[in-house]
Amino acid sequence: MSRTDADILGREDVNDLDAILAMSNTAVDEALHTVRDNADAIFTWDYEKGARPALNKLYEKAKHSQWNGETDLDWSITVDQEELARTNPLTPTVEGFAALGIDFSGTALATWTNEDWVRFQIETQNWGLSQFMHGEQGALICTAKIVETVPWIDAKYYAATQVMDEARHVEVFAKYLDTKLTGNYPVNAHLKLLLDDIIEDSRWDMTYLGMQIMVEGLALAAFGFMYQLTNEPLLKKLLRYVMSDEARHVAFGVLSLQEYYAGLSDAELRERQEFAFEAAVRMRDRFLQQEVWDRLGIDGRKVVKMMLEIPADQLIFQQMLFSKIVPNCKKLGLLDAGSGWLRDRFTDIGVIQFEDHTDDLDLVA
């Protein structure tokens, strides 16, 4: 039986402001968070290496592509975060909003100056890199779970290399936040819910879909966008290393799931479509960054409402985040399974135009 948006998301309207803002991280002072992992650990006694040549090739590539965040990055570089915010083309300006016809009347932003928007961009960077750090820990845990649950030895071998990759990613993002920026943020409630859902699901392919395709796909797109825009040499090199790893991680998900999904029934594929849609909406909600507004002492309700009302074709950054997710869902047959249910849903949230997006950078081969 098909589920409604209310069944999938816990709200009838994808843009229900009250429901979105009602979600918050109420455990910001807790250092530990426990999630029940319902999956079985699977041993395989078939040790034939190379039964899946594409995965074996990826494994060999991963072994030769390890890097050390302590020695391969120059941590002596000084980072002037305020200057970076002033020169960042994504930093909002009063003039820019006026050109787009965005009117902040009736909100606390009506009196903001360009200096206020620079301060906002600094907090946005602190928030954004914090969420990527938390997401990388989610990937660390999920990939360790894949080692346990995937039944193929080639996939276990590769996933083990990704565990090392993810540990390194958490390490370098944490160090960059602590030593180069001006603050960090707890995990966003929408991201936390998605990570919990991925870990709690007992099916090994859902871990792949949620993490390798959705979360890692979005991260790869975001890192690529940041890489193109930043002039800060330490962050640029850090992102380049991380992107090379992430490209392999996403490829690992696609290669593994293409084989498995080819044998699923329509009902089973519909479950995967619904999970992909839920993940996409959770990640979109995350980028409303309500924690930043709270830290700046702004009632984010009216601001978030206006953000949700901005036409999708004007939200270039938010759209580009799906430039890896949508084509990979297409490669997996999820866009058009079940009379194109997921295609329709991605059309509703304004990202279907990326279904044939290709990369300019070859980071895997």
Do 324 and 221 meet the contact criterion of CB atoms below 8 Å apart?
Answer: yes
pLDDT score for 130: 97
What is the pLDDT confidence band of residue 312, given thresholds at 50, 70 and 90?
A: low
The residues spanned by each domain of the chain are 78-354
Q: Encode 229-260: b = buried (16+ Cβ within 10 Å), e = exposed.
A: ebebebbeebbebbbbbbbbbbbbbbbbbeeb
Provide the pLDDT confidence category of residue 108 given band limits of 50, 70 and 90.
confident
Residues in contact with 279: Cβ distance below 8 Å, sequence separation at least 6, in sequence order: 194, 198, 209, 210, 214, 215
What pLDDT is attached to residue 364? Answer: 45
User: Could you read off the pLDDT of 129-180 as tens digits, one per residue?
Assistant: 999 999 999 999 999 999 999 999 999 999 999 999 999 999 999 999 999 9
Residues above pLDDT 90, as percent of the chain? 67
Q: In a 3-state reduction of DSSP, which class is residue 298?
A: coil
pLDDT for 29: 78
Structural contact between residues 168 and 246, judged by C-beta atoms closer than 8 angstroms: no
* 254: nearest Cα among 208, 190, 223: 208
Q: What is the pLDDT of residue 314?
A: 54
Q: Residue 55: its pLDDT value, please?
A: 95
pLDDT at residue 307 in the model? 67
Sign, CA dihedral 361-55-161-33, equals positive
**In this predicted structure, what is the pLDDT of residue 363?**
47
> In this structure, which CATH number among 3.30.390.30, 1.20.1260.10, 3.40.50.10160, 3.40.50.920 belongs to the domain 78-354?
1.20.1260.10
Q: How confident is the model at residue 287 (pLDDT cuts 50, 70, 90)?
A: confident
Residue-wise pLDDT tens digits, 190-208: 999 999 999 999 999 999 9
Model confidence band, residue 213 (pLDDT cutoffs 50, 70, 90): very high
Average pLDDT over residues 234-262: 96
Residue (of 126, 117, 125) closest to 185 by Cα position: 126
pLDDT above 70 (res 311): no
Predicted confidence at residue 45, as pLDDT, reads 96
- Residue 16's pLDDT is 78
User: Closest Cα to residue 46, out of 148, 144, 149, 154?
Assistant: 154
Confidence of residue 365 (pLDDT cuts 50, 70, 90): very low
pLDDT of residue 362: 45
* Mean pLDDT score across all residues of the chain: 90
What pLDDT is attached to residue 361?
42
